[in-house]
Copies of this chain bind each other. A is one copy, B any other.
């Protein structure tokens, strides 16, 4: 990491010109992740893992406040359990990594590395749940799952191993189960908005796109800067599908045996990819302040003389900030300020504080915002307040900008030609009247490559015709080409 390599470290791809090349460069050159010898898997370096830790911390706290508790089930699932529920897990089977040998011994039965844990969890649930007194049972896991997809893997967006929460609730009634939907989606929306500065579109999945085990699936959908949609966190009302398959019955207050009502929901490390893609720029990552591993970096600028004074002053500034912010004093020798500026910009640290001899003299410092390059000279006493203000403002503006981008990708179309034209010329998501019929949905996908990302909830009545068949539309659905 010698200084001469600075050019090598910068990004050679531009986000607006070659988004996918830019995406990989910005992740690896900034030290956010690295590749390994395992295809489709990668290393989370401290700056990315810290963000996932923060997401888990924030979401977990809200889950616990709601009465959702954490458990941990085994990584490996016997084949017979997975096979039992082929109907609901058919989609996962081609992606399962199978353990066949332990040491030199052939396993009696193949063991799947969990692609998701319904089968092993619900086997236990059916044992644990006996009476209405045992409900609700609201358990969640934070773990790693593996889906050996054969499509082109992309870090965070489509990686074979990923980290997530998997929530698996059981209720005595459909009403209680349904009430959990808005609570959980609300928590996911909150962490996206308040921490990752990301908006999303909440809606119901179409029958074709929903989770096979669900009665109704919901999602928060993102749009990436290239105009392709990407599914974020999801929530499934599984009804009694699994309770019937796994015999999860309870004795109700009237002494009757009833099947329980279940939900499942997840947020994954994919959100880190969305965050990088949405906020980053041609200089590198732009990390939203509240979730950033490092929030402030202080870079001293030396002239030939007065190095000690600058260092002492800059270190004092660091000391005033370090308790309240994740801060770093970059006093590395042998690197020019310009090199350091580029490096911290590449890493996306929200605020850089520059301190040179003149600042020492005038008792000032220069605060530079990562996202827009805005510079502000502030007096030393004002630094903490100014840092706080700048971080708050930066978070808000990142969110507004992301929201504006999302809106710019949202189109209302009223007929099929407009849908095709819009998707082709503008990308993004086109909201179109739809009859609700899977045949129209299939035809549209075949002909345009766009699927229904989701269908906004509570639309009220609409008075339009399905863009494909011309029959009476049931609702407006969001169509997009999707990752």
Contact = CB atoms under 8 A, between A and B. Distances in A.
A230 interface: no
A323 interface: no
Contact of A1 (B53, B96, B134): B134
Nearest to A293: B69
Most chain B CB neighbours (cut-off 10 Å) among A46, A52, A146: A46
A384 to B, nearest CB: 21
A131 interface: yes
Contact of A102 (B37, B45, B73, B95): B95
Interface residues of A, number: 61
A146 B100 CA distance: 14
B71 A49 contact: yes
Main secondary structure of the interface of A (DSSP, over half): mixed
A101 interface: yes
A127 B71 CA distance: 37
Interface in A115-159: 120, 123-124, 127-128, 130-131, 133-134, 139, 143-144, 146, 148, 150
B98 A100 contact: yes
Contacts of A360: none
A36 interface: yes
A75 B45 contact: no
A38 interface: yes
A308 interface: no
Given A99-B98, A111-B38, A75 B161 contact: yes
A101 B103 contact: no
A417 B168 CA distance: 58
Interface string A43-62: 11110011011000000000
Closest 4 A-B residue pairs measured CB to CB? Answer: A41-B74, A102-B148, A46-B69, A44-B72
19 contacts: A1-B130, A2-B131, A36-B124, A37-B78, A37-B123, A38-B77, A38-B78, A44-B72, A44-B73, A46-B71, A46-B139, A50-B70, A52-B72, A95-B103, A97-B101, A97-B111, A99-B99, A102-B148, A103-B148
